[in-house]
Structure 1
Amino acid sequence: MLRQAVEQSTRPVMHTYGHGRVRIDGNGDADDKVMELVLAREDAIDAAALMAAVQRMHNATSPMGLDPEGMPEFEDDEPHRD
């Protein structure tokens, strides 16, 4: 979903650029700035994929726990009193 948001956020600029209507402050080069945007968009898409992978890792590990049964280092020193 984040990837889609990144892609959609650049569509208006790309559409405007395609019609030759992008202006850059200080008479800058629109081609250079749009290329910078495209490269940054690709980096953002890659980062979004990594963030999604981290979220999947979290989802997989969050219900996990350690079963200490039979592990001496987790046994109580004192006997249980019921």
Structure 2
Amino acid sequence: MNESHFGRNFKKWRLHRGITLQELEQKTGLKKHYLFRIERGLYKGTPNQWIRLLKELNVSIEQFALDPRLSNNEELSHSKSQS
């Protein structure tokens, strides 16, 4: 995945969870303009930043690779964790 794909997927998950950039800024301490640049693929972020962001979105690394608009994504992750 390149920066642009990461950013688009991040934005899809953020919107899927109903979280605004401002809310994410307050929860993670990362500035809104910085988060916007990540979504646009202009900045890739650090591994620690991605861990914080995914934690706030309540998304695992495995889930992040999937498209949040597919209805089975969350069901798949729950069934894997229960196995």
Same fold (TM over 0.5): no
User: TM-score under structure 2 normalisation?
Assistant: 0.26
Q: Name which one, 1 or 2, has greater alpha-carbon Rg.
A: 1
